[in-house]
Structure formats: structure tokens, C-alpha cells
Chains A and B, each alone.
Chain A
Amino acid sequence: MSNALRRSIPRALTSLIGLLLIVTYFFQLPSSIVDAVNFIPRFSVVIVAVAVGVGAFTLLKYHVSLIRKREPGRWIYSIVMLLSLLLFVIVGLGTGVNSEAFSWIYNALLVPCSATTYAMWCFFIASACFRILRVRGKQAAVLLISAILVMLSNAALGELLWVNFPLIGSWIQTVPMMAVFRALTIGIGLGMILQGIRVLLGRERGYFGGS
């Protein structure tokens, strides 16, 4: 297939399907047509399902190669990863995803691991705060003062120190911050609609590559 066709066919399909979805959203059409058009977005479920399969295969291939090469500091973890993958697949296929055994593995292994990893993010947030809140100029000073006031308004200690801290924090969040958020929301909303129109008209080409 020529390069031009490789770009123009997906672009034409995107425009056609986008316009069909818009027409069914705004206009009253026979239910058979609406059902047929609404079925199109469900194709993404198929893509996700295939991606999971391909992902599992790639993961298997990658970690097997690490184990074969005895990659220093990594191959041991690859064994753990592969054993976990196999355990999930065997128990899931053998007993079903709603079984007690599968739920136990999920709740007793995956959930605590996920919670632990999430909890570790607090250190990243702390180090990010340290980098952000260094006073390097007037704008950084405004950021630092606002952050301190909002923190004091949210912490119980703030109200103990001065009864007006919660009021100040609330004002910062509901007046200046809300004003900025609304301005951003309007701009982003319009940006999204106009980008959609550019895609439908085939004018947004950047995501096909070759700017």
C-alpha cells in the first residue's frame, strides 16, 4: 500500500465514523441505525483484549530473555514476575476469576503490594514539594505562601494557631484558584471541540506523523 493511502484511508475512516457518531448524538434516527453506530466504539474492547494478550506474550518473552542472559540484578526478579504471572493464569483458568482462591491471591498479594507502592508516592510528593517550594523568585514566593496557608487551613493545627486560617485557605481555593480553573476549563473545552473538528475535517495530521 502506498504511503499516501496509508495516511488517507485512516483519516477518511476517522472522519466518517466521527461524523456518524455526531449525527446520532444530535438527531433522532431509527434505533437500528443508532444501535449500529453505537456499536462502533465497542471495538476498542476488542483492541484492549488483544493488547492484553500481546502484552502478556511480550512480557513473557522479555523476562525469559533476561533469565537466559542472567542479567545482573534483574533475572531473579524476572523469575518472581513469571511465577506470579503463571500463578494468576493457572488459578484463574483452573478455578475461575470469581473463585475464592483467585480472590484470595488478588486481595492478599496484589492489593497490599499496590497499596504499598501507592504509599511510597508520598516520598516523591515530599521531594517534589521541596523542589517546588524553594524561593527562587517572586512567583515562587507567592506559591510558597499560598501553599503554607492552604496547608494550615487543612491541618487541624492551623485552626488551633489562628481561627482564621481555614477561612483564608477556603478563600484561596474558592476565589483565585476557581477563577483560574474556570478560565482553563473554558479554554480546554473549546480546544477539545476545535481539535475534534480538525480531526473530522482531516486537518489534524500531527498524530499520523510527519509534521
Chain B
Amino acid sequence: MIIQGRVVDFLFVAFLFVLTYVLARLTWIPSIRKIAAFDGIKEAVGRAVEMGRPVHMTPGTGSLNANESGPALIAGLATIAYAAELCASMKTPFIISLGSSDAIALTDQLLRQSFMVAGRSPEEYDPSVIRYFPGRDTIGSSLAFTNSVQGLMAREKPAANLMVGPFYGEQIALCEVAAKEGAIQIGGTQSTTQISIFAALTDYHIIGEEIFAAGAYVSKDPTQAKMIAAEDVAKIIAIALISLNALLIMLGLRILPFLQV
């Protein structure tokens, strides 16, 4: 028995599950349009190689366990995995600033994996590249994280700064220090109010839901690409429903009570 008030929510999620499953089984392989920010990662790592300076990456602050920051953190870690793989294959040093305590073990594992995929021995991977600074999930504020990462960038002078994940305003201070050090910058977040800051301050930025396409885009996995296509279908349906609702409201009909069953 479905809990009252959640029937429509359940039907929508169930529909998305079915849509994703059906599209994943089709033989058709959709192409994902070019996302300059993800292509820019190669350029950023290449620049670090030329300059002989490290690449700095951070998936922001937040918790894997939180509704809002969790998905963005997963997307940020997928981007880091790809960038770390590039760094490992080009033998370029990199540093990862983590502000999420529950992502430490996961990051350690993904870096080991990235080294293996890049054809390097897992023994060559140095866990000290992960620098953990307490963030919002531990101390409720990102001040310590921001100040520590600022100091880290001022000391290590990265050639590239990659910031993809949950950010809540601290990126202004981080981008300014990275710009002062002459780093090429790539940024992206799920927070609508913070996207504009990345758009203004970084060389390449990821807009809106592009952040959640990170895994599919960098892996070129056809099944993941089909799931991104499912997102587009869902988006078209959502736009149609919103338009229909607006039309019905103009005609004096209110459908909201029916959606709250």
C-alpha cells in the first residue's frame, strides 16, 4: 500500500525507472553533445604537464548522505576519477582537497582504480595526494575547508584547478587564489545560485544538469549515454506537463489537488 500523498511521486519515479530500463535495452546509441568543460580537462592536464606544476582538484564540501549534495558529490568524484586517470597516464602530480569525511575511502579506492586503468601500478599511487579538510558535514561550516585549500593552492601553485561538486559560495575565494596563481579553472555545481559564480569566474564551466552527465560523458559508455537520453525524454515530458498545467490554470481548472493523492 502506497503512503497517502506519495502516489503521484511513486508513479513518476516508477515511470523514470521503466523509461531508463527500456532505453538501456534499445540497440540505438545516442550521442552526447560536446561539453566544453569536460573536454577542457584534457587541456588543463596538458597545461600542467607543460608547466611542470600539479593539478588541483576538489569535489567541494557536502555529504554523500545528503539529498542535495550527494548526487553532485558523486558527479564530482566521477570527474576526479577521469582527471586522475589522465594525470596518472601523463605522470603529472595532482592534489585532491576533500571536504567530505564520508568520501575519503571512496576517493582512495577510485584513485587506485584510476592508476590501474592508466596502466600504472597501484603501488605508485600515493594516498597522501588526498588532503582532507573538515567541511560542512563535519563542522557545519566550510570556512576551515576554504582557508586550508586557499593556503594549499598558494603553496603548491597548481597549473589547473578543477572544482566539480557541491559548492555553497566558497568557490569565490578559491577561484581568486587559483587565478592569482595563474591556474586554468574548470567549475561546476548543482546549486542554482552558485552556477553563475562558476560561469563568471572559471575558464570552463558546467551548467545545470550537465554535471550529472559527467560519468557518461567521460566513460563513453553507451548504456550510460542511453540513460542521459532518458533524462532528456523526462525533461520534455516535464515541460509538456508544466505547459499543460499552465494552460489548465488559465482555463480555471486546478489539477494540484489530484496530484496530492
Contact = CB atoms under 8 A, between A and B. Distances in A.
Contacts of A208: 81, 106, 109-110, 113
- Grouping DSSP codes into helix (H, G, I), strand (E, B) and loop, the B interface class, with mixed when no group exceeds half, is helix
Interface string A171-182: 000000000010
Nearest to A133: B200
What are the nearest 3 A-B pairs in CB distance?
A206-B78, A209-B113, A206-B215
B201 to A, nearest CB: 6
Given A196-B71, A209-B109, A48 B215 contact: no
A207 B106 contact: yes
Given A124-B173, A188-B192, A206 B238 contact: no
Contacts of B173: 121, 124
Contacts of A207: 74-75, 77-78, 81, 106, 110, 215
B235 A188 contact: no
A186 interface: yes
A211 interface: yes
Given A3-B116, A143-B200, A210-B113, A52 B219 contact: no
The number of chain A residues touching the other chain, given as a range, is: 35 or more
Interface residues of B, number: 78
Interface in B103-136: 104, 106, 109-114, 116-117, 132, 134
Given A210-B113, A211-B117, A191 B209 contact: yes
A160 to B, nearest CB: 28
Interface of A: 3, 6-7, 22, 25-28, 41, 44, 47-48, 51-52, 55, 58, 114, 117-118, 121, 124-125, 127-128, 131-132, 143, 181, 183-188, 190-199, 201, 203-211
9 contacts: A6-B109, A26-B6, A27-B2, A52-B134, A58-B132, A128-B172, A128-B201, A195-B71, A205-B224
A194 B215 contact: no
A26 B209 CA distance: 25
A205 to B, nearest CB: 7
Given A205-B215, A211-B215, 14 more contacts: A26-B10, A44-B64, A47-B101, A48-B138, A52-B138, A181-B192, A187-B235, A190-B238, A194-B230, A203-B221, A205-B219, A206-B82, A209-B117, A211-B219
